[in-house]
Structure 1
Amino acid sequence: MTRPEPRPELPLPQLHAFAVLAEELHFGRAATRLGIAQPPLSQQIRRLEEKVGHPLFHREPGRVTLTPAGRELLPAVRRALADLTDGLSAARAAGSGRAGRLRIGFAASLALTVLPGLLRTFRQRFPDVRLDIHEMTTAPQIAALREGTIDIGLLREPPDGETEIGFRTVLTEPFVAVLPTAHPLAAQRTVRLDQLADSPFVLLPREVGPRLYDRITGLCAEAGFTPRIAQHAVEWQTVCALVETGLGVSLAPASIRRIRLKGVAFRAVAPGTARTRVAVAWRSNDPDPLVANLLAIVGQEVPRPGAVPAGRPVPPGR
């Protein structure tokens, strides 16, 4: 079996020299454009002609023209140089976090608070970055970060003891009681947690957000009762819809009030210190500049009403 002859490697300086000389058709002017002396330019062209196996230029006194081989080679060289220039620009943009793809997981309720402003600011600053947005609850986000299927997460009540994943608190927001409008407590402006002891609850299942589930049931325990869970629902909108049907009540982050259902009332909860934490999450060892750029923006957006930026004192009674 005959082996194919190896293709000759064409060094970039020789291709560049050939393209410039093909435009100028004058060794002196081409050498000036390239910033080299004329003899090195002639050497580059001769080396390229040796690799091609044919002359690329007719050299006559006072006149330089392309040979048929040179005319055939020129379009390919121009495409190669243009592709290389584009590739270098793309590589620089990706390396600085100005281009590429960023995969973001987010808890559905955060579409009502920090997510819109965060994405709007990021897109304004980095319009060439492609954003892949995935709605998912906390536990699937943590798994996706570990597996590398998302690059950054926006979630509630991040878990403790994670070494591979970094977390930064973005804001905290109070809980509200979610009640059917026909519920007796809906007539009150504020509901004490212990007043919910006799009502069935509709909650997210623990497996999709263990820390948030434990936070809610822990608040109930502090109020002296264990919630009687009548129904689980994966999304807060579904929770509210089930509350509207009268299946039970719920405790939810205050941003859920933006879900408008005629048969649902949202009431402040006492004590007002009951709050839930929103955090951004990323792989601790991830050097991706896209992640670094988004992290630099996190916390700059003004949270929606009912939310308090991380680190800001919560006023008494809220």
Structure 2
Amino acid sequence: MNMQLHQLKYFVAVAETRHFTQAADVVGITQPSLSKQIHALEDTLGAPLFERIRGNIGLTGAGETLLPLAKRILADVETATREVQELVGLRRGQVRLGATPSLATSLAPPVLRRFRDAHPAVDLRVEEGGSQDLVRHLLRGDLDLALVIMPARGADPGLRAEKILTESLVVASVDPVPSASAGGDLRITDLRDQPLVMFREGYDLRDATLAACREAGFEPTLSVNGGEMDAVLSFVEAGLGIAVVPGMVVDRRPGIRVTRLAPPGVRRTIAVARRRDVVPTHAGRELRRILLDHVHTATASDQLPPGVEPCPS
């Protein structure tokens, strides 16, 4: 059998785009060359990998079987190449971290500072996005680690996720929000008639807020829909509505009033995640170690932000 790595790369590109021309653009070759290599791979395997269904490209049974194996092979080759290059000094090494906007501005900076001080030659790359987007990037192999929010249903089976912190969400507003509770904390039902500034699709905060409102028996009124973290906070400061956000993102926003949610409130679990089937590089393992040590130190010295608690070991 004479299967080539570049053929597997082309196969994965077609499988993900479901389009030969788009796949050729992704891998940087002409469409006829890509088609030729796919046919050669099919000849080697003795089975067709793609079929046309009503004008669309679909995977055959053989293609469905090969796809996860091909992704794993390509990921292992990339990891092996990076590991060896780090060891023999052919390049400086690299680590790619993903983080949600709130964690990128709160938890990540001191961790990245420690990592940079200890390993100044490593190429450190950070990608900011919603948890759902970061999970997709992890599964594609575009990130080594990501700080994500654990969904209620649990992590994607393709990931290994370690729970590290839990955090209470708060209500951000410019003016006081009328409360029905004696202690001044807001109940979810107090948000029924309030205009909400809502995050875009892909943010766990959007899902958590909508789920809490629906569990309380109402659909929220959306004032602005589809913002990123900085935009949502700016819209709140402009008086366009209120928003349910992590407490740690409003510490340095003096124009925003923070009100706690009455028990049980809305909590979320922060996790550090990586692909289950890929061995992490030296740089990735070191970044994870520094992250966990930072959380342990902050917990022991009582320096975690209000409303943030460590997860049991």
- Report the TM-score, using the length of structure 1 for normalisation: 0.61
Match in the other structure for 1:244: 237
The correspondence of residues 163-312 of structure 1 with structure 2, limited to 5 A, is 163-181=157-175, 183-184=177-178, 189-205=184-200, 207-209=201-203, 211-262=204-255, 264-287=256-279, 288-301=281-294, 302=298, 304-306=304-306, 307-311=308-312
- Residue deviations 1:126-146, cap 9 Å, x none? 232110112222122112112
Give the superposition deviation at 1:221: 2.8
Counterpart amino acid of residue 282 in structure 1: R
Shift of 1:99: 4.5
Is the contact made by 1:138 and 1:155 (CA closer than 8 Å) also made in structure 2? yes
2:187–2:265 CA contact under 8 A, matched in 1: no
Deviation at 1:272, TM superposition (A): 4.7
Task: State the percentage of identical aligned residues.
Answer: 28
Q: Which amino acid counterpart does residue 121 of structure 1 have in structure 2?
A: R
The Cα of 1:218 is off from its aligned counterpart by 2.0
Kindly provide the CA deviation profile for residues 263-299 of structure 1, in whole angstroms up to 9, marking residues without a partner as x.
x211111115521111112111222222222222232
Q: Secondary structure at the match of 2:270?
A: strand
Sort the Cα spacing of 1:94 and 1:221 in 2 relative to 1 into closer, same or farther, 3 A.
farther
Matched-pair contact (CA < 8 Å) for 1:204–1:233: yes
**1:227-263 Cα deviation digits (max 9, x unpaired):** 122212432221122122332211111112224152x
Within-5 A mapping of 1:57-96: 91-92=86-87
Contact 1:99 1:126 in 2 (8 A): no
Measured in 2, the distance between the counterparts of 1:145 and 1:251 equals 27
Please list, as runs of the form range in 1=range in 2, the aligned pairs for 1:20-169 lying within 5 A after superposition.
91-92=86-87, 99-158=92-151, 160=154, 162-169=156-163
State the distance in 1 between where 2:184 and 2:89 align.
52
| CA shift in 2, pair 1:109/1:93, >3 Å | farther
Equivalent residue letter for 1:271 = P
For residues 147 and 89 of structure 2, the distance between their equivalents in structure 1, rounded to whole angstroms, comes to 23
Matches of 1:91 and 1:247, distance apart in 2: 50
**Partners in 1 of 2:195 and 2:229 — Cα distance?**
16
Q: Helix, strand or coil: the match of 1:128?
A: coil
Alpha-carbon distance, 1:190 to partner = 2.1
Aligned residue pairs: how many?
Answer: 219
CA contact (8 A) 1:93 1:99 kept: no
> Structure 1 stretch 294-303 or stretch 105-114: which is displaced more?
294-303
In 1: Cα distance, 2:219 partner to 2:88 partner: 54
Superposed displacement of residue 102, structure 1 = 0.7
Q: Deviations over 1:293-316 (max 9, x none)?
A: 22222322126412212228xxxx
Amino acid at match of 1:305: P
Q: Who is 2:36 aligned against? A: none
Distance 1:184 1:114 in 2: 32
Q: 1:94 to 1:308 in 2, by over 3 A?
A: farther
**Following the alignment from structure 1 to structure 2, what is the Cα–Cα distance between the partners of residues 289 and 216?**
38
CA contact (8 A) 1:103 1:131 kept: yes
Q: What's the TM-score, normalizing by structure 2? A: 0.62
